[in-house]
Structure 1
C-alpha cells in the first residue's frame, strides 16, 4: 500500500501565523488554490485510487482539483483533523505557538498525557488519527486500490508520522518542516507498519535532518 499524506494549501491563518485548528477553519488563499491545482501534476498520474480529507474546509478544497482530475470523490474522515489548540485557538503570538509546539514535542518523546487546556492529549490524538488511517486503508482495499491520498494538516501529519513510521524519529519531524501541499509518501500497512520513501519531494535522509534540529523552536514556519 502506498499512502500520500498531503498538507493542505495556504490559508489566511497561515499567512498570519495563527493557531487555526477548529472546524470549519479558514478557506484557501489564492496561492493555496494554485497549490492545490499543482497537486494534479504531482499526483495525478501516480495511480491514486482513493482520496480522503479532514472535515476542515481547507483540506477538502485542497483535495478537490485532484479528485476532479481523477473522477474520484473525497471521503471526509474526522480523525484527520489538526492537533487541537484548545484555549490557544486563533492566537498567533510567539509564546502561544511555542506552547503548542512543546505539547507536540512531548508527545513525540513519549509523554502522551500533556495537553493544552481545552484540547486533546496525545492518547486521544493518536487513537483518532490511527483510526482514520486504518479506515482509509480498509476502504481502499475494499475497492482494490493500493495508492491513496490523505489530505490533512502540518502538525498532525508530522506528529503521527514521527511516532508511527519506522524510519522517522522525533528529532527528524521536529527539525523538518512540511510546507503547504507538501507530500509525505509512505509504503506499508497499518498491520505491518510504515516506511517513509519521500518527504516533500526529497528522498528521505532522517539522520541529516535530525542533526540539524534544535527542538521545537527549529520549526521553520506555520504548521496549521
Structure 2
C-alpha cells in the first residue's frame, strides 16, 4: 500500500507557535486555505482510493479540496488526530515545545511508556494511529491519503518505518500541507519513500532533491 500522510494547512495557532491540539481546534488561515486548494494539483499523479482526516477541523478543511477533486468521501477518524499536549495545551514557550517534541520523539525511539504531561503515552498514541492505518489497509486501496498533523505524522513514521528514526524526524520538520509517502503494509513493515516531495536515499535516509510543500512555520502545532 502507498500511504500519503499529509499535514494540514496553516492555522492561526501555527502563526502564533502554540501547542493547539484539542478538539475541535481552529480553522485555516487564508494561507492555509490556499495551501489546501493547491493539494489536488500537487497530488494529481496519485491514484488515491481512500481519503481520511482527523476529528480536528483543520484536517477536514484541508482534505475538502481533495475530496471535491476525487469524489471521495472524507472518512473522519479520531485515531489520526494530533498528539495530545495535555498540560502543555496552548503554550508556546520554548520549554513547553521542547517537552512536547522530546516526548513524541522518545516514543518513536521506543520509550512508549513515557507520558506527555497530563496527556497520553506512546503506547496509546501509536495504537490509535495504527488502528486507522490497519483499517485503511483493509479497504484494499492501492493508495490511501490521510490528512493528519505534524507531530503525529513525524512520530508515527519514525516509529514504524525501517529507514528513518527519531533523530531523522527531529531534524526534519514537516511544513503545512507537507506530504510524507510510505510504502508497505501493517505486519510487513514500512519505508518512507518521499519526505515533502524529496526522495529518500535507499541507505542513508537523507532527503535528496527539492520539492514543493506548504510554507514553512515552526513545528509547534501539529
Identify the residue that residue 214 of structure 1 maps to in structure 2: none
After TM superposition, give the deviation of residue 44 of structure 1 in Å.
3.0
Report the TM-score, using the length of structure 2 for normalisation.
Answer: 0.91
Q: Distance in 1 between matches of 2:205 and 2:187?
A: 29
- What is the match of residue 184 of structure 1? 180
1:194 maps to what in 2?
190
C-alpha separation in 2, matches of 1:195 and 1:156: 17
- Pairs aligned (count): 212
Kindly report the root-mean-square deviation, in angstroms, between the aligned alpha carbons of the 2 structures. Answer: 1.7
What is aligned with 1:115?
115
Checking the alignment, whether the CA contact within 8 Å between 1:163 and 1:170 is kept in structure 2 is: yes
Q: Which has the higher helix share?
A: 1
Distance of 2:198 and 2:188 partners within structure 1: 24
Partner deviation per Cα, 1:139-178 (whole Å, 9 max, x = no partner): x31xxx2111000000000000001011111111111111
Q: Is the 8 A contact 2:109 2:165 kept in 1?
A: no
Which residue number in structure 2 is paired with residue 213 of structure 1?
Answer: none
Of residues 185-194 and 50-59 in structure 1, the stretch that sits farther from structure 2 once superposed is: 185-194
Corresponding residue for residue 90 of structure 1:
90
Residue in 1 that maps onto 2:46: 46
User: TM-score with structure 1 length normalisation?
Assistant: 0.90
Structure 1: runs of 5 or more not aligned: 211-218
Question: Distance between the aligned counterparts of 1:190 and 1:86, measured in 2?
Answer: 29
Cα distance, 1:188 vs structure 2: 1.1
Q: Residue in 2 aligned with 1:203?
A: 199
8 Å contact kept, 1:178–1:223: no
| DSSP-derived class of the 1:3 partner | strand
The DSSP-based 3-state class of the residue aligned with 1:185 is strand
Q: Does structure 1 conserve the Cα–Cα contact (< 8 Å) formed by 2:200 and 2:206?
A: no
SS of the equivalent of 1:207 reads coil
| Aligned residue runs from structure 1 range 1-224, under 5 A | 1-138=1-138, 140-141=139-140, 145-205=141-201, 207=204, 209=206, 221-224=219-222
Please tell me whether the aligned partners of residues 3 and 148 of structure 1 are also in contact (alpha carbons under 8 angstroms).
yes
Alignment deviations for residues 103-148 of structure 1 (CA, whole Å, 9 cap, x no partner): 112212221121133200001001111111111221x31xxx2111
